Structure 1
Amino acid sequence: MSGYKANILVIDDERDIRQLVQEILQDEGYVVYVAGNAEEARKMQCRHQLDLILLDIWMPDTDGITLLKEWTENAEFVTPVIMMSGHGTIETAVEATKLGAYEFLEKPLSLARLLLVVDRAIDAHMLERENAGLKQQLFAVHEPIGRSAFAERIKEQLKRLAQHDTKVMFVGESGTGKELYARFLHAHSGRKAGPFVDVSVGSIAPENAAVEFFGKELDGVVYPGLLERAHGGVLFLAEIAGMDAQTQLKLLSALESHSFLRVGGSEQVRVDVRVLAATRTLLETEVAAGRFRQDLYYLLNEVTMEVLPLREHGEDVPALLHFYIDYFVRYEKLAYRKFLMAAQNFLRNYTWPGNVRELKNLVQRLMILGAGEDIELTEVKAALGAVLGAASVVPQSNVPDFFQLSLKEAREQFEKAYLEYHFEKNSGNVAKLATAVGVERTHLYRKLHALNIKE
């Protein structure tokens, strides 16, 4: 990330060591926070987006090994941790490594080794974040699949809209692929070399919205927000109806003037950004009810693109099935399977309440858990729950494939599927979602961000 200043937290109960390490790392251009005990460290870890933690083992309240274990048992925690100790033993180093520590440094610290290990840890972390983002977007700029009248019409319209900087509002049910169409438009535009920054508006807590969108300045350090990161490219706002009133006003002002103030800043920041938005909710209704600003609605809705539910262009289902089979074979290394004609015909006439997202998940489930190359109609019906008492799908081995994952990976898969289901059931409303799943809203916002759950 060009110009990015990694955030590092140094945790040590010895003030002199904290200050020394902080000064050394600040001289290297890092943003460095410090904590003298586990209680302070927990607060700092929650308050900041950290790229690396340097953690002393021996502390007065909670030792570093216990704190490391506490963090790594949390599925949301992805920050690399370098352990430090002046009384280290091989057994302690091994234990820290087993718990997920990136490296173990002995005191007194070698300056050269400290900087080398820190640099490597941050590079590895950034690469992991980049790969995670790429993995999510592997198929994102593929041409929309299908040859129905709808598919052909929307591809042609998007290519024409791509030649202009018109703001476009994608309207359609959840799971219809609104982000995919936005990415397709971007990939055919003059901005295609610029960034495509996507955000689920409903997963941003109102109290954090200003920093998220406009960034902040703190002690002379700049933390760019979504608008700055999208400079020269596209900012895609999913579920725009979930934006709170104060943020609506500030975003309206920023888009009209192409400039804004960072939180804590004193100078206007100018940006060149094309905004694309998406909603499953009729914004006219939200405007009439006073929940969405009329002026912002007209600003964002220069052109409306209606994205039809899959049940209204069922002739595209076979092509979508073939596409996702090829996708999972190529990128997830799953064994090839094919849908028999009876199964394809059944799915063409299925109602698809979850639209293309449901189709993708069905293909993945059948490829992971099914046996044999052919996917038959009975297996499809059983997977959809369409036939009561249908025979269970038999996996290719005695245990499901996800049993081979680490506990952390398996838990992440379950949490993502569980929250996506309830997110859709509650129409993308985070307040209702929090009540439905029994999770405090602030924690839920962090969870949605960590699992990249969006419209």
Structure 2
Amino acid sequence: MSIGHILVVDDEVEIRNLLAELLADEGYTVSSAADANEARALIAARRPDLILLDIWMPGQDGISLLREWAELDQLVWPVVMMSGHGTVETAVEATRLGAFDFIEKPISLDKLLLVIEHGLENNRLSRENEQLKRSVPDPFELIGDSEYMSTLRSQARKVAGHDAWVLISGEPGTGKQALARFIHQHSPRRHFPFIDTGGVAMGGRQNAAIELFGAESDGKIRYGLLEQANGGTLFIAEAADMDEQTQMQLISALENQTFFRVGGAEPVRVDVRVIAATRKDLEMEVRQGRFREDLFYHLSVVPLPIEPLRHHAQDVPVLLTHYLEAAHRIEGLPRRELTIGARNLLKAHAWPGNVRELKNLVQRMLILGTGDAIDEQEVQRALGVLPSNDEANDAASSALISLNLDLPLRDARDEFERRYLLAQLKSCDGSMTELARLTGMERTNLYRKLKSLGISANERS
């Protein structure tokens, strides 16, 4: 697999051939152009990852061609200028127009390779940052030390080593994008872009087509997500949302690794891996005629379901700790700790919104709360759970929630009974008659229980 596509634009055939041979030996694919017109034609046929551009050429020189790209807002690849007669003023002008670097002839091959490597890495990071600004990615990682999460990470690493398409299924908020990114980062394609369609309305037909396949108009090329993902991974954030026309166009493009831009006349070749995600049952969508069967079988070469958080609730404490720390370290939110009761309450929560709900809840409590500790009452308010109007029941519930679940069963039972009876004793203002009524215990048994737990009948706190 190529590590990048380089376009060499130079009127000297010896320079073009030398650079093409050198770069091919290093693992790059190379296209060569002798002038500006040839360069335009090659760019229209295939999006370069980097351009080596000579300044002095017959006809249109390199600086004016660079200016043309800048004015068309088409500098989506790094440009390295080359010249044997460069001046400081020329270098400054090239940099002002958006050139990544400037190399003098005769060219030092070691320096050239280093500049190309830096240019490609800089461009990759810029594209990823730009996409993150346009989209709303799932920001969670594959966090968890349960057996389930360990198995999922192991499966993802195995899948990453192959180029098969993957279909990730699961409820909203389970981390489908995080799993896709994990696979990409552990694959041979990790040095190329990970492009997410999450910010695109995939059911919009013409708009979706332009976003995915790009467009050509009045000599200006708009590169779609497929071309941006060339060499890397295209993540289809919600496959079930694609309308029939988009599905048909996509299956053709992905089967042949070739497509036409909207308004374009020449085919464009790409090399991408596809990872798709869905919250719906795609097999059911196929049976009901809402999803193409051929696309389903292409996408689901390797099906990879993600379980909802409630099915591996033992990961909740680890996730809570991770996002509490991340919110403080990355977002500058105050550092706060969850009490044992708050952690137990959150571990028992059903998490219908899965990991996304957990992360949002942590942020909400850190933004709106005060103090160093987050107790169970604050958690209940954040979850929208209304406290009981019965003070005694509220106190008993609080005692249960605050129980340390790491204790042996007998010690945990004694601790709960002690907290429960203390809360009830306080609620009835020390009246043993009322306490017997509230607990449903005979007074003789009640006195015996209080004594065994070390509680004085006059104790109220």
> Residue 380 of structure 1 corresponds to which residue in structure 2?
379
- The answer to whether structure 1 residue 193 and structure 2 residue 233 are counterparts is no
What secondary structure, in the 3-state scheme, does the structure 2 residue paired with 1:173 have? Answer: coil
> 2: CA distance between counterparts of 1:129 and 1:264?
27
Supply the AA of the counterpart residue of 1:29: W
Instruction: Provide the secondary structure at the position in 2 that maps to 1:208.
Output: helix
Tell me if structure 2 keeps the 8 A contact 1:343–1:375: yes
Q: 1:253-286 CA deviation, whole Å, 9 max, x = no partner?
A: 1111111111111211111100000000101111
Instruction: Report the AA paired with residue 218 of structure 1.
Output: S
CA shift for structure 1 position 119? 7.1
What is the 5 A alignment of 1:216-227? 216-227=215-226
Kindly state the Cα deviation for residue 200 of structure 1 after the two structures are TM-superposed. Answer: 2.4
Counterpart contact for 1:183–1:196, Cα < 8 Å: yes
The equivalent residue for 2:160 is: 162
Conserved in 2, the CA contact under 8 Å of 1:141 and 1:187?
Answer: no
Q: Deviation per CA, 1:25-45, whole angstroms, max 9, x where unpaired?
A: 994423459xxxxxxxxxxxx
Deviations 1:120-166 (CA, angstroms, capped at 9, x unpaired):
9xxxxx97993782898999585x11122221110000011010011
SS across alignment from 2:197:
strand
2:250 is matched with: 251
Whole-angstrom CA distance in 1 between matches of 2:205 and 2:136: 27
**Unaligned runs of at least 5 residues, structure 2:** 1-5, 8-42, 45-63, 77-92, 100-124, 390-461
Take 2:163 and 2:97, find their aligned partners in 1: how far apart are those partners? 42
Q: 1:151–1:208: structure 2 CA closer, same or farther, 3 Å change rule?
A: same
Once residues 231 and 308 of structure 2 are traced to their aligned partners in structure 1, the CA distance between those partners, rounded to angstroms, is 32
Query: What root-mean-square deviation, in Å, do the aligned CA atoms of Structure 1 and Structure 2 show?
Result: 3.7
Looking at structure 2, the residues matched to 231 and 223 of structure 1 have their Cα atoms a distance apart, in angstroms, of 15
CA distance in 2, matches of 1:235, 1:301: 15
Q: 2:115 maps to which residue?
A: none
CA 1:216/1:132 → structure 2, altered by over 3 Å: closer, same or farther?
Answer: closer
Paired amino acid for 1:210:
A
Q: Which has the larger radius of gyration?
A: 2
- Per-residue CA deviations over 1:349-390 (Å, capped at 9, x if unaligned) read 111111110000000011111111111111000011112489
Using a 3 Å threshold, how does the CA distance of structure 1 residues 128 and 199 change in structure 2: closer, same or farther? closer
If the length of structure 2 is used for normalisation, what is the TM-score? 0.57
The answer to whether residue 170 in structure 2 is matched with residue 130 in structure 1 is no
SS at match of 2:216: strand
Answer yes or no: is 1:29 the counterpart of 2:55: no
- Distance in 2 of aligned mates of 1:348 and 1:278: 27
Cα offset, 1:341, TM superposition: 1.4
Please give the residue correspondences for 1:173-322 in structure 2 after superposition, counting only pairs within 5 Å.
173-200=171-198, 203-204=201-202, 205-322=204-321
**Secondary structure, aligned partner of 2:379:** helix
Aligned CA distance change for structure 1 residues 128 and 233 (closer, same or farther; 3 Å): closer
Distance 1:135 1:161, change over 3 A: same
SS in 1 for 2:363: helix
Percent of aligned pairs with the same residue? 45
The whole-number CA distance in structure 2 between the counterparts of 1:161 and 1:141 is: 20
1:297/1:183 CA distance change after superposition, 3 Å: same
Cα distance between partner residues in 2 of 1:152 and 1:129 = 28
- The 1:245–1:254 alpha-carbon spacing in structure 2 relative to 1, beyond 3 Å, is same
Q: Which has the higher contact order (CA 8 A, sep 6+)?
A: 1
Does 1:327 pair with 2:367?
A: no
Q: Is the 8 A contact 1:210 1:263 kept in 2?
A: yes
- Look up the SS of the partner of 1:275 in the other structure: strand
Aligned to 2:356: 357
Could you tell me which runs of 5 or more consecutive residues in structure 1 were left unpaired when the two chains were aligned.
Answer: 6-23, 34-48, 52-113, 121-125, 391-455
Residues of 1 paired with 2:387 and 2:140: CA distance? Answer: 39
| SS of equivalent to 1:210 | helix
Report the Cα offset of residue 346 of structure 1: 1.1
**C-alpha contact 1:140 1:184 (8 A) present in aligned 2:** no
On the 8 A contact 1:173/1:309 being kept in 2, the answer is yes
Distance 2:128 2:255 in 1: 33
One-letter code of the match for 1:372?
G
For the 8 Å contact 1:337–1:374, the answer to whether it is kept is yes
Q: Secondary structure at the match of 2:167?
A: strand
Contact 1:337 1:375 in 2 (8 A): yes
User: TM-score, normalising length from structure 1?
Assistant: 0.58
Any conservation in 2 of the 1:236–1:277 contact (CA below 8 Å)?
A: yes
What amino acid is the match of 2:173? G
Matching residue of 1:75: none
Change in 2 beyond 3 A, CA 1:250/1:135: closer
**For 1:348 and 1:141, how far apart are their aligned partners in 2?**
18
* Alpha carbons of structure 1 residues 328 and 139: separation in structure 2 relative to 1, 3 Å: farther
Distance in structure 1 (CA, Å) of the matches to 2:254 and 2:209: 14
**Cα distance between partner residues in 2 of 1:214 and 1:155:** 32
- 1:232 and 1:272 in contact (8 A); partners too: yes
Matches within 5 A, 1:57-96: none
In 1, distance between residues paired with 2:375 and 2:328? 19
Q: Equivalent residue of 2:190, what SS?
A: coil
Offset from partner CA, 1:218-264 (integer Å, 9 cap, x none) = 12222111110000110000111010101111100111111111111
